[in-house]
A and B are shown apart, each in its own frame.
Chain A
Amino acid sequence: AQTVTQSQPEMSVQEAETVTLSCTYDTSESDYYLFWYKQPPSRQMILVIRQEAYKQQNATENRFSVNFQKAAKSFSLKISDSQLGDAAMYFCATWGYSGGGADGLTFGKGTHLIIQP
């Protein structure tokens, strides 16, 4: 079983600044994956970034990057040059291979990101 903890219910950042959203997780699986999803007010779930646990290199997607600390079971999301369109709920999620291969994702409770103009 996996658990995901997002300790920041809400974060606020000035436009063009950098913000980091925290996520810690727990898993007994040796083979697992980590995700950040964005949910804007439209309610659509949008994948932001994905990290494979066996890869030491941190994933990057344009202005979005992660700091993956495997030993600490930490997976934070850094958003650089914040834009108004980044305002949303952000969910950290994990998937661990428990033999079946089909299990769903385990999500944290989310962080509400506010962008101040």
Chain B
Amino acid sequence: DAGITQSPRHKVTETGTPVTLRCHQTENHRYMYWYRQDPGHGLRLIHYSYGVKDTDKGEVSDGYSVSRSKTEDFLLTLESATSSQTSVYFCAISPQGGQNIQYFGAGTRLSVL
């Protein structure tokens, strides 16, 4: 699985609580991405990182923040979870950015009640 671990794999939380999802890679790839997958929408980019402490927003970044203090870890935080953030979240890594192959983690299913 290209050395990507997402944790937790499943989480149920309540509206208004903070949630942090973790993506850990063992490939030493420079680029990391967070996507969300919802029925009828395919995958949409939330945030991405092009190096330690270098991040930028994607298409659906509202309500999310990210941090990357080490090459191997990319954290996605929902400061105050809402029901609209119920989704499956995928982390992806790439050695050379978007034009190269992106390898995906197994996903985290998040339910916000």
Interface residues of A (CB under 8 A from B): 4, 31-33, 35, 42-45, 47, 50, 52, 91, 93, 95, 97, 100-110
Interface residues of B (CB under 8 A from A): 1, 31, 33, 35, 40-45, 48-50, 56, 58, 88, 90, 92, 97-99, 101-104, 106-107
Are B45 and A109 interface neighbours, CB within 8 A?
no
Across the interface, A107 reaches (CB within 8 A) one of B42, B49, B97, B103, namely B42
Are B56 and A102 interface neighbours, CB within 8 A?
yes
Given contact pairs A100-B50, A109-B40, a sample of 4 additional A-B residue pairs in the complex whose CB atoms are under 8 Å apart: A95-B98, A103-B48, A103-B98, A107-B44
Across the interface, A108 reaches (CB within 8 A) one of B42, B90, B101, B104, namely B42
Are B99 and A33 interface neighbours, CB within 8 A?
yes
- Please, how many angstroms separate the alpha-carbon atoms of A107 and B106 in the complex? 17
Q: Which residues in B have their C-beta under 8 angstroms from that of A106? A: 45
Main secondary structure of the interface of A (DSSP, over half): loop
Are A102 and B98 interface neighbours, CB within 8 A?
yes
- Please, how many angstroms separate the alpha-carbon atoms of A111 and B59 in the complex? 22
Are B50 and A102 interface neighbours, CB within 8 A?
yes
CB-nearest residue of chain B to A104: B45
CB-nearest residue of chain B to A46: B104
Are B98 and A47 interface neighbours, CB within 8 A?
no
Going nearest first, the 8 A-B pairs with the smallest beta carbon separation are A104-B45, A45-B104, A107-B42, A95-B98, A102-B50, A107-B43, A101-B97, A109-B42
Are B42 and A45 interface neighbours, CB within 8 A?
no
